[in-house]
A and B are shown apart, each in its own frame.
Chain A
């Protein structure tokens, strides 16, 4: 082809060689119409070519396209999330990492940062790493093995993770002033060597989701936040108190019993106590501490109406008077709960919001996530909502059923690959 015909005719073997793929035929005698020994059937050749084509397409997609790169990271990260341990492929393919502890200041006091980052040089393509500010919720979770595993696994796939906690969170409480801690931590991570300033997202677990939303709505950073991910977080502090008061949730039009765990009761008691008279607050806190005793009628009589209402909601002993108890809240308590509600700031958030929720959560009922998703849909805010069965609140359940794992993998894969897109 493209050559003088007299040259081609000069050497028949060369003609066959020019066609490459059919080169083996050039070795055959003209009479060899039946397959030679050891020759692959035509179907085998076709299958091998198809396999090579597929390998090429897969390799090209996974390494060149941002969606493909996110898929590689997700494939490596998802088993670490589900199994709550580092899988062998991640250890083989992942980056070497290191853990650094820092402390910065904010309006609410010191912010304790645990930074997990890859130690290998930043790849020229894309030239910067994704950063993730991770608020692991109320309490001191810095030594929780599943959290450490998650942060390390994220670092191994090239993400710089900055876990943060504050004195208020460590003391099992949530304060709106800590949104400044998240803003400071966000700015700190944005300036971290190798992190792309426009590739930083915020993820909040449980009560951390509230701070993630408050910070993402903050005018100082809201245009730079790449995404907000919330796992097991409430949407509105008053509606969650209503659910706690009823000890029931309405799912698909059916009211089903719902029993909260002890720890969120302790946290909510701490939260409401800060807007109550000091003695009332102390009584409520003591009632919901581990091993705490219900308040006596005499103690209740000594308390303000708002404190009594808050107590009954948390104790769940007046499920039919939830609305009256909410109405008995003082203006300060209403204002506090409004300030601590993501529902009050969703209109100010610019970044897409990913809502993750376990179905049988005994800390935050799934209805909160559903209401959150519905509110985002109403205002046409970009969001994704996934619910899982393999988690209890924000922790992976031990030995989840295989069917449940298989059920949860596609949505987990989808949301993780969305969250990991800024790394590409």
Chain B
């Protein structure tokens, strides 16, 4: 599982970098996006990989890690951006 976890970690970083290339982060994040998106990718890939192992088995866990990771990298930054904005407006 260690080798698989490392593979998922790498997958998370790659998807995070693709998210940066796709400009999926909110403007206020600025250069921090280079750190936050791969971090989101890594956390999502590892969490979904392990969850996938529990639910579907080791064989299909990487496929679960892939789509959940992409989903998180695509949806979480805009969501966080909206929440940030709402918080700033409320203040």
Contact = CB atoms under 8 A, between A and B. Distances in A.
Asked if A pairs with B, the answer is yes
Given A23-B29, A55-B70, A63 B56 contact: yes
Interface string B6-27: 0100000001001101111111
- Secondary structure dominating the interface of A: helix
Contact of A14 (B7, B21, B67, B85): B85
Interface string A46-62: 01110110011111101
A92 B8 CA distance: 13
Contact of A59 (B29, B56, B63): B63
A95 B58 contact: yes
B56 A52 contact: no
Contacts of A158: 57, 59
Contacts of A51: 18, 22
Interface in A8-32: 10-11, 13-14, 16-18, 20-27
Contacts of A103: none
B46 to A, nearest CB: 15
Contact of A48 (B22, B67, B71, B85): B22
B66 A20 contact: no
A40 B25 CA distance: 14
Interface residues on B, range: 35 or more
Contacts of A45: 21-23
Interface string B52-68: 10111111101111111
Nearest to A58: B66
A297 interface: no
Contacts of B60: 62-63, 69, 72
A40 B64 contact: no
Interface of B: 3-4, 7, 15, 18-19, 21-30, 52, 54-60, 62-71, 73-74, 77-78, 81-82, 84-85, 88-89
Interface of A: 7, 10-11, 13-14, 16-18, 20-27, 40, 44-45, 47-49, 51-52, 55-60, 62-63, 68-69, 72-73, 76, 92-95, 120, 123-125, 157-158
7 contacts: A11-B88, A23-B26, A23-B29, A25-B27, A56-B67, A63-B52, A63-B56
